[in-house]
Structure 1
Amino acid sequence: MATQENDSTDIEVVLKDLKKIMNSDCSVLKTLLLILSVFFHVEVVVTASDVPNVTIPNAEYSIWSGSAMTLECIIDSIPNHTDVYWQKESHGTVMNITSSSTNVYGATVTKPSLTITHVTTDDEGQYICLAVNIVGTGKSNPTSVKVLGKMFYIFYSDEAY
């Protein structure tokens, strides 16, 4: 029996959410691709979708009351993240912090780090950064913020009056 070869001998295998489909075991995938490669030219395009990987590099911050402070947030996300927000836990209460919250800058898709412009003792607590994509929400490990007492300025002049 003769087979007719056509131009569509290439098979494109697109693997979405590879980690979930293969349960983190790529040996089954490799075996399948090896078998297919015997009969066809196989082109593999891997799109590993997952919740965003969110990192805060510093485990703790100490800052003087009245100062400005930036909590750094690094996000690695495929597919791209579409939202960023922070949560602060203090005395058993969790509060969401977004770009529209007062006294803060950042917490956006393009600038996920959180800057508090005028730190007070109310800002003390545990903070996490969260990023959202179509797969779900990724969150960082917590970072601790300790607010030190108010900074005082003392001016001294040795001029006699």
Structure 2
Amino acid sequence: MIEYTVDYGKEVKLDCEILSTPLHNEVYWVKTITSNDTRKITSSSRMINITPNGSTLNIKEARSSDAAKYRCVAVNSVGEGYSSEITLIVRGGIPIVKRTHEKYKTAKGYSVTINCMIESEILKIQTVYWKVYTSRTAKPHLIRNGEVGIDGVNANYPSLIINEVSVSMEGEYRCCAINIAGDACALPSNLIVEPILDQSQDENGNTSVEMTESVVGIIGGILAIIGTLIMAYKKRNAFTCKEDKYTV
């Protein structure tokens, strides 16, 4: 098997040598994407150059869709002849964008970081932005680098940092990236904004901010103990003063 590798957007030529007696009268190429998807490329596509001794399939600007297996086919009065299979690998393509957590919890007035990871082979990331879906808006709001109260959202640090969260920011957040091949977005992360703070983490490592019943109970118990000690101290002082008054 023959293998060609080309970077996204670059030119590549697949060559085929033909030995035919009698001389071939037709040449075409077959592109196989999957076992159920095979396409015929004819000379009318302007991609094929034919000579008496062979043929060249010329792909001027390779795209991800060009990655496939190719075979050259020559036809004469006897029948058809097929070349060996040529595999074309195209390096690069649209970005791969991933979330790290499905859910984030925080409280009003606090900061939160919604994490995002971007992979882009060969091709430079041109733009990073976030899509935000809330119950207050019918269409998604776009967050871009440089907005007031926002940090991150760039190729070097794509995660979204909200410096001061408000209740209206609760919703669904998706990280998106663009390169010359196209754009892609991660699965959504949900931001939940609660009014009471207790910094903790769930089993997935997601930040959780809430005042739990157990914490409230512990604080109440401590206050009760302090109150009891104060009352005992006051009674002890009163008893001592009474004894001093009647002592001769």
User: So what's the TM-score if we normalise by structure 1?
Assistant: 0.70
Q: Find the residue that maps to 1:86 and give its secondary structure.
A: strand
Deviations 1:54-75 (A, max 9, x none): 0111111111222110011100
Residue of structure 2 in register with 1:99 after alignment = 145
Cα-to-partner distance string for 1:39-93 (whole Å, 9 max, x where unaligned):
xxxxx8x542211110111111111222110011100013121111111111233
Comparing 87-96 with 138-147, greater Cα deviation is found at: 87-96
Match of 1:143 among 186, 189, 192: 189
Aligned partners of 2:139 and 2:150: how far apart in 1? Answer: 19
- 1:67 is aligned to 2:110: yes
1:20 aligns to what? 65
Does the aligned pair in 2 maintain the 1:128–1:143 contact within 8 Å? yes
Q: C-alpha distance in 1, partners of 2:194/2:139?
A: 21
Q: What whole-Å deviation, never above 9, does each CA across 1:98-135 have from its counterpart, x for those lacking one?
A: 12212110001111111101111111000001111011
Partner of 1:31: 85
Over residues 23-42 of structure 1, what are the superposed CA-to-partner deviations in whole Å (9 max), with x where a residue is unaligned? xx4x5488226xxxxxxxxx
RMSD of Structure 2 on Structure 1 (CA) = 3.0
- Structure 1 window deviating more from structure 2 (88-97 vs 128-137): it is 88-97
Q: Secondary structure at the match of 2:65?
A: helix
Alignment: residue pair count: 135
Mapped partners of 1:147, 1:13: distance in 2: 49
Alpha-carbon offset, residue 19 of structure 1: 3.7
Q: Is the 8 A contact 2:66 2:90 kept in 1?
A: no
Cα distance 1:109–1:13, how it changes in 2: closer, same or farther (>3 A)? closer
The equivalent residue for 2:132 is 88
1:128 aligns with 2:174: yes
Letter in 1 for 2:66: I
Specify the structure having the higher radius of gyration (Cα): 2
Q: What is aligned with 2:98?
A: 55
Question: Partners in 1 of 2:5 and 2:157 — Cα distance?
Answer: 35
Which structure's residues are more often helix, by fraction?
A: 2
Runs of at least 5 residues in structure 2 that lack an aligned partner in the other structure: 9-61, 72-83, 199-222, 231-248
Cα distance, 1:14 vs structure 2: 2.7
8 Å Cα contact 2:6-2:90 kept in structure 1: yes
* Equivalent position to 2:160, from 93, 114, 129: 114
Gaps of 5+ in 1: 1-11, 34-43
TM-score with structure 2 setting the length? 0.47
Q: Which runs of 4+ in 1 moved over 6 A?
A: none
State the secondary structure of the residue aligned to 1:20.
helix
Bigger relative contact order (CA 8 A; separation at least 6): 1
Counterpart amino acid of 2:179?
N
